[in-house]
Amino acid sequence: MENDRYRLAYDQSIREPEIFWREQAQKLNWDLFPDTILTQADVHHSSWFPDGLLNMSSLCLDHHIDQGRGGLTALIYDSPVTQTVKKYSFRELRDETARYAGLFRDLGVEPGDRVVIYMPMIPEAVFAMLACARLGAIHSVVFGGFAPHELAVRIDDATPKLVITASYGIEVDKLLPYKPLVDQALEEANFQPEHVLVWQRAGHVADLHAPRDLDLAKALTDVVPAGAVPVPATHPLYILYTSGTTGKPKGIVRDTGGYAVALRFSMEAIYNSHPGDVFWAASDVGWVVGHSYIVYGPLLLGCTTVLYEGKPVKTPDAGAFWRLIAEHKVNTLFTAPTAIRAIRKEDHDGLLLDKYDISSLRALYLAGERCDPPTWQWAHEQLNLPVIDHWWQTESGWPMVANPMGLTPLPVKPGSASVPVPGYFIQILSEDGHPLIPGQEGLVAIKLPLPPGCLPTLWQDDARFISSYLKAYPGYYLTGDGGYVDEENYVYIMGRVDDVINVAGHRLSTGEMEELVGGHAAVAECAVIGIADELRGQLPVGLVVLKDGFTASGSTVEAELVKLIREKIGAVAVFKTVLVVKRLPKTRSGKILRKTMRLIADGVHYAVPSTIDDPMVLTEIHDAFRDRNLGQAFLPQHITG
């Protein structure tokens, strides 16, 4: 196509990356524009814009004020759990950020120092993040509500000068005290921060331990606001910890300049957003989506961003998302498929949606886990809008595969996250490292160098960075996901490599089985896992949550699903067992804990994942396996206790 802006952009980004990314970098207001666009120290390490200077807080806030947009709304805080809505203009957000930065400066925080932020979804969390960026300090946001041990591990690794928290968070209708969790974490941690700053929320005041603990609101009194400190583009903006196979979390490092360039590009090219749009990423600031598309991405472009302290359901009902879109005239919604499935489960006929005018909404974007076609189909039918699945990771920081809606909108293929984003040279590799042809399923890898915005290393552990991502296939970054591309270069991500099961020598995708199971009229959510089998190596087992109004009468649903897999995949799958459960174990960000369920079934001792939403779900899954005499399920002592 002669007007295929995507193809032109993608081809140039691969052939002439320095020219392409220089042009994108020119859209930012640098303190010192870089002469050098890309350097490569060795086969494993590259740096983007290394001699440039900039400040992320200034780009997100001061720049828009200087352009005369200071009075426009930058942040909308919507909290159904406290019945609060508050709006901040760019000027008001800048002023709050500068006050926080002034306090941090007065407490001795300097460029390069770390600050751990352990807070609920409240504006003060955003102020703290932007304040760190303003000083050149490195923030590490830990998801609010993480167990004290997990917080202690992160404190010991990041060695922060300050820890910032709040007196409590709210989970639907439960008050969750945060400060006692911080106290327990610091009792366990070897490293001790100089101060803990506590935002005292109305209704519950936390105990403070002088002189370490400070009331954040009182400490801000009479503070002289801080200006923005220019830092090198390669300066770390933040550390974000993600789970590691060794049990020790991996500290993903994000640089400042490459990240800013990539995020601004993505806001226009992928999300088709414009200055003044209302952009809502229904995530949490503790996750990478919150960093990239609640805080930094929308503000860089000059959009209004939404901070939502609530859930897709039960705050107060499955119409919560539609209410917020209607009330704040949201143009773009970004959420996880699990949120849409939760809404569908409670309102699968869309009756609550009919109550609201969501005509402002232009598109729904889904990421965080594979979007099964039934979920895509339901959302598309209910909204009658583009529903865009896309794929990326904490490590990448921004999308790797997406429909480039701001360049050339492409036809949607349910089950595919669409095409490689400019900058990402995606290859499907065989286990021996050879590129595969379209249609062949293998390991999803990205040819080096990675584009701007991706992790340059792991915090204080470069050897682990190399061994985890780069060593297995020299010249490539290994994503850890399996998948394939079709003849039109659409990418299909079929799940983590360890979710591919081997049944009697046949490698089968649990993602493909889930796609079929999830399409059944009675199924709201599902997971297919491989459990150990003495004869065949592994056997697939389906776990399903039924839609409201459906019951597991006899074995009807199970029989229909077994027949469906046999018809669509064949007897080779040996799919014979379906368990109907009330709910599936998930992380707080909505990812189904398939590996943990597999360990339960196989009788392998496991630790309760720190990210789990409700540990008691594991008990229910264990009982479901036991009641059907499946696998070698056992229950760890810390679950029964």
* CA-based nearest residue to 281, from 368, 346, 356, 353: 368
User: Which residues lie below 8 Å from residue 526, measured CB to CB, with a gap of 6+?
Assistant: 372, 514, 517, 518, 542, 543, 544, 545, 584
In this prediction, residue 637 carries a pLDDT of 35
**Which amino acid belongs to residue 347?**
D
Q: What is the pLDDT of residue 607?
A: 81
User: What domains, with CATH codes, occur in the chain?
Assistant: 5-310+390-421 (3.40.50.12780), 504-640 (3.30.300.30)
- pTM, 2 dp: 0.86
DSSP character at residue 283: S
What's the pLDDT at 632? Answer: 66
Which residues on neighbouring strands pair with residue 88, listed in sequence order?
Answer: 75
Residues 6+ apart with CB under 8 A from 627: none
Separation CA 128–CA 291 (nearest Å):
12
Closest to 247 in 3D by CA, of 150, 337, 338, 341 = 150
Residues of the chain with pLDDT under 50: 1-2, 554, 633-641
Phi and psi at residue 524, in whole multiples of 5°? -90, -45
pLDDT at site 541 = 94
Cβ neighbours for 142, distance < 8 A, ≥ 6 positions apart: 116, 117, 118, 150, 151, 154, 241, 286
Prior bond to 316 cis, omega within 30? Answer: yes
pLDDT score recorded for residue 566: 82
**612 three-class SS:** strand
Q: Across all residues in the chain, what is the average pLDDT?
A: 92
Sort 555 into a burial class: Cβ within 10 Å, 0-12 / 13-18 / 19+. exposed
Tell me, rounded to whole angstroms, the distance of Cα 334 from its chain centroid: 11
What pLDDT does 271 receive? 98
The partner residues of 73 in beta bridges, in order of sequence, read 89
3-state secondary structure 314-380: CCCCCCHHHHHHHHHCCCEEEECHHHHHHHHHHCCCCCCHHHCCCCCCCEEEECCCCCCHHHHHHHH
